[in-house]
Amino acid sequence: MSNNLLKGKKGIIFGALNEDSIAWKVAERAHEEGAEFILSNAPVALRMGQLDELAKATGSEIVSADVTSTEDLENLFKIAEEKFGKLDFILHSIGMSINVRKKIHYTEANYDFYHKAMDISAISFHRVMKIAKEKDIMNEWGSILALSFIAAQLAIPGYNDMSDAKALLESIARTFGYYYGRDKKVRINTISQSPTKTTAGGGIKGFSSLFEYAEKNSPLGNAPAVDCANYCVMMFSDFTKYVTMQNLFHDGGFSSTGLTEDIMGDMD
């Protein structure tokens, strides 16, 4: 189904790894809605080769960039400028924590790993926008999005230092959003998505229980990745021009629910 919501719009999509990735679904939906974009991911992710399939299906170029490297990002934006001139949207769909991967408990964090998690999962959002702003590459009313999770607001055991990374990510969206909006009318938001079965999601300790609990404790149930992609498309479109500096929950009502009857029934 296409409504040409993104006809003529150009962008960069970071973070499509395989067909489970939220960014993969965003790329598919953005393409259906008429957008053109560059797909970017870390060199190690590109070596897996799966992104070629998505690039072919969406007529996109792939440009390798480790988001912790300013040099890589400057090269990516140079290629984007040569290809498209100006951009209308950017998706930051990136997260990684070595403390999570190595199952190191939150209270016993390794700080080198902690710094790495902040750099890849949050500070990279600032780095991407800093380069975009310096290059003045975004069109007015352009839209920049990052994906977040409710562990930024609520303590969720197992989410580990990614909770802190998401809190920082959401703060960067607000603060950078102020300056980018004031100076260039560019809007910046985060979408706080339900637990979703992806490579990054699956790495979280207790992910299956978290997924089941959130499913039961949301009046609408967990939001699927493809619906998150639809929300991203809407946020890139001209129908959301005055939405900026927000953390937008896309979670079937989970964030506003204390307790569902379903969960109460389990307790009984």
Residues that bind ligand NAD (CB under 6 A): 15, 17, 21-23, 41-42, 45, 66-68, 93-96, 120, 147-149, 193, 195-196, 198-201
d(CA 10, CA 257): 37
d(CA 132, CA 146): 15
Q: Is the separation of the CB atoms in 32 and 7 below 8 Å? A: no
Shortest Å, Cβ 19 to ligand NAD:
9
Show the tokens assigned to 110: 């390794």
Shortest Å, Cβ 42 to ligand NAD:
4
Q: Given the complex with ligand NAD, which of 23 and 173 has the nearer CB atom? A: 23
d(CA 155, CA 163): 8
Q: Given the complex with ligand NAD, which of 127 and 187 has the nearer CB atom? A: 127
Helix (H, G, I), strand (E, B) or coil at 208: helix
Q: Given the complex with ligand NAD, which of 57 and 238 has the nearer CB atom? A: 57
d(CA 147, CA 98): 19
Show the tokens assigned to 197: 């079965």
Angle among Cα 254, 257, 259 to the nearest 5 degrees reads: 115
Q: Given the complex with ligand NAD, which of 95 and 177 has the nearer CB atom? A: 95
Helix (H, G, I), strand (E, B) or coil at 35: coil
Shortest Å, Cβ 113 to ligand NAD:
13
Shortest Å, Cβ 262 to ligand NAD:
20
Closest CB to ligand NAD: residue number: 201
Shortest Å, Cβ 146 to ligand NAD:
7
Q: Given the complex with ligand NAD, which of 85 and 157 has the nearer CB atom? A: 157
